[in-house]
A = this chain, B = another copy of it.
Amino acid sequence: MSPPAAVDIEVKGVTDTSAMVVPDPLTVNGVPAWREKMVKMPTGVAPSCSSDMWKSPACYNKPKAKRLDQLLSTEAKARKASTLKAAASYMKIPGLISLGGGLPSSEYFPIEHLEVKVPTAPGFSPEETQKSGTVLHGGKHDIKEGKSLYDLEISLNYGQATGSPQLLRYITEHTELIHNPPYSDWQCTLTAGSTYAWDTALRLFTERGDYIMMEDYTFASAAETAFPLGIKALAIPMDLEGLVPEAWDEILSNWDVKARGARKPHLLYTIPTGQNPTGATQSAERRRAIYKVAQKHDVYIVEDEPYYFLQMQPYKGEGAAAPPPPATHDDFIKSLVPSYLSMDVDGRVCRMESFSKVISPGSRVGWIVASEQIIERFVRNFEVSAQHPSGISQLVLYKLLDEHWGHTGYLDWLINLRMSYTARRDAMLHSCEKHLPRDIVQWVAPAAGMFHWMDIDFSQHPGVAAGKTPEQIEGEIFDAAIGQNVLLSRGSWFKADKSLPIEKVSFRATYASASFDQIDEAIARFAACLRDQFNL
């Protein structure tokens, strides 16, 4: 339990930028050339690193993020760098022998090499990978032997809370390519998953007794993380595009500290793309309107974006085939709805990213992007808690994403994933169109994510006449579906504010994991159960 000395995130990439002209933004194909110009990859044990080492000059000539001291919690303000941090700086002295640290010798790490077999682009299917996949090899001393910039000697030892520089470089470049934040001092840090990042965000931005703001229907666990910290959820009204900015503005503009028993809230949790559970995706215009409300009321936005790359092809209706995939990487990137991060002129957004839906949830590797001030506070917390994600996971991801696929191969993978999810969603929608009673069930085609949301017109349910509540009716339909051997998630499970009455009957169905046949069969069973319930 001896973490290494804390990271110094002041490390800079290009030291003299004065002579630079205003440069072009980083492009996918420009990455290799740009890498040549940057500082050499630090390949020692647990080296300090920061995104500044790899951001292109296009990032420099922008204003800095605002400082947001007024939004930080007592805990966040009190957290200091490790006492042992100072000692790390001595390690740079040439010829120094260190008896100072508490790191074990790699002699006692019992893994000599690690190999993974992975897809070779564009053969991404499991079948193709078995036949034509590539075996990636990581040796214990690949760095010393000049074979790689990352190896088991380093990844099996302690690292910094930011994550290894090897993977952080990739993440930083990816962030610039996709989001290109409009302020200069943005940073990334790896996280031990988004759930962990959100728990940490609550510690950094809230005090016991506060409200946080969430979509009316939201990821249940995100709300449940907060409650035992003495935090209440303020549910913001939603429409088909998710959170409604006007309604939100009205709540905040009329905040009554006395009536609410709490100060005006300043933390928004939102899932802007393929929202869980409703599947809603906020348009660019909607996001800009929400961002304006956040500026007006000095709100910090946490955008939880696991489904961002599960944006799908437009739905063309019953029986129609999906349009062909984006022709180029550029077309693909342009097809993505702009993130809050990409419009964050103030530095009031923390983007929570995850490999869970695009590579593997079991890796327990995610990352966040925010201003230097905020990332530094996250890192201070991480280094005395989960420290950093697994070095074994980091090595596997580095080998796959950086050494093997590169940015181009990863974008190919993401386009492939887009088409796979498009096919899955379409299969579910076609089944719904085929089987479900349309005068009872309403839905819109989800543009992103894993979830299909169905609103049930409970007013037609015979139970209404008998005085049953929507919650009771939802429960009866759920039980009836279980009776037909199909499991859906009840909409009421996702209410952010559990103290509010349930006024609708809704169900969430995921098309992410069952086979096409199973999806069709499950929807057919659900249809039968609805007909039965509604006496159709």
- The yes or no answer to A314 lying at the interface (CB within 8 A) is no
Query: Which one of B74, B385, B510 lies within 8 Å of A225 (CB-CB)?
Result: B385
* Closest chain B CB from A122 CB (angstroms): 13
* A466 touches B (CB below 8 Å): no
Cβ contacts under 8 Å, A79 to chain B: 228
- Is B99 touching A511 in the complex (CB atoms < 8 A)? yes
Chain B residues with CB below 8 A from A512, complex form: 102-105
Q: Are A3 and B221 in contact, with the CB atoms below 8 A?
A: yes
Q: How far is the CA of A240 from the CA of B119 in the complex (A)?
A: 57
> Cβ of A1 and Cβ of B304 under 8 Å apart?
yes
Q: Tell me whether B391 and A514 are in contact (CB under 8 A).
A: no
8 Å CB contact of A97 from B159, B384, B522:
B522
Interface string of A436-460 (1 = CB under 8 A from B): 0000000000000011000000000
Across-interface contacts of A510 in B (CB, < 8 A): 99-102
Say if the beta carbon of A126 comes within 8 Å of chain B.
yes
Please report the C-alpha to C-alpha distance between residue A156 and residue B390 in the assembled complex, in whole angstroms: 13
Cβ of A511 to closest chain B Cβ, rounded Å: 7
**Contact present for A111 and B105 (CB under 8 Å):** no
A193 interface residue (CB < 8 Å to B)? yes
Residue of B nearest to A451 (CB): B102
List residues of chain B with CB within 8 A of the CB of A411.
none
The residue on B at minimum CB distance from A133 is B112
CB pair A390 B363 closer than 8 Å: yes
* Cβ-defined contact, B109 with A359, below 8 A: yes
Residue of B nearest to A73 (CB): B228
A74, B227: Cα distance in complex, Å: 11
Q: Is the C-beta of A47 less than 8 angstroms from some C-beta in chain B?
A: no
Q: Which of B100, B129, B509 contacts A110 (CB 8 A)?
A: B129
CA distance A521 to B97 in the complex (A): 8
Contact B99 A514 (CB under 8 A): yes
Stretch in A87-95, A290-298, A330-338 touching the partner = A87-95
Q: A3-B195, A115-B115, A196-B386 are in contact. Are A276 and B102 (CB under 8 A)?
A: yes
Q: Which residues of chain B have C-beta atoms less than 8 A from A130's C-beta?
A: 112
Tell whether, in the assembled complex, residue A224 and residue B82 are in contact, meaning their CB atoms are under 8 Å apart: yes
The interface residues of chain B lying within 8 Å CB-to-CB of A199 are 384-386
Q: Which of A14-22, A26-34, A254-262, A479-487 contacts B (4 or more CB under 8 A)?
A: A479-487
| Partner pick for A486 among B97, B198, B229, B519, CB 8 A cutoff | B97
A242-265 residues with Cβ-Cβ distance < 8 A to B are none
Most buried by B among A125, A450, A509, A521: A450
A140 within 8 A of B: yes
CA gap between A281 and B168 in the complex, in Å: 40
The closest CB in chain B to the CB of A271 belongs to B1
A110 x B413 contact (CB < 8 A)? yes
Quick check: which of A54-62, A321-329, A341-349, A392-400 contacts chain B, the rest being far away? A392-400
Given the complex, which residues of B lie within 8 Å of A472, measured CB to CB?
A: none
Query: Which of A35-43, A174-182, A350-358 lies at the interface with chain B?
Result: A350-358
**Cross-interface CB contact of A488 among B99, B110, B159, cutoff 8 Å:** B99
User: At the interface, yes or no: A371 with Cβ under 8 Å from chain B?
Assistant: no
Task: Bits for A256-284, please: 1 = Cβ < 8 Å to B, else 0.
Answer: 00000000000000000000100000000
A513 close to B105 (CB less than 8 A):
yes
Chain B residues lying within 8 Å of A112, measured Cβ to Cβ, are 117-118, 126, 129-130, 133
If A74-B230, A485-B97, A487-B98 touch, whether A1 touches B390 (CB-CB below 8 Å) is: no
Residues of B within 8 A of A13 (CB): none
A-B contact pairs, 11 of them (CB 8 A): A1-B304, A1-B306, A2-B356, A80-B227, A99-B487, A101-B489, A104-B450, A107-B126, A109-B362, A112-B133, A199-B384
* The 4 nearest A-B residue pairs measured at CB: A362-B391, A390-B390, A78-B228, A225-B384
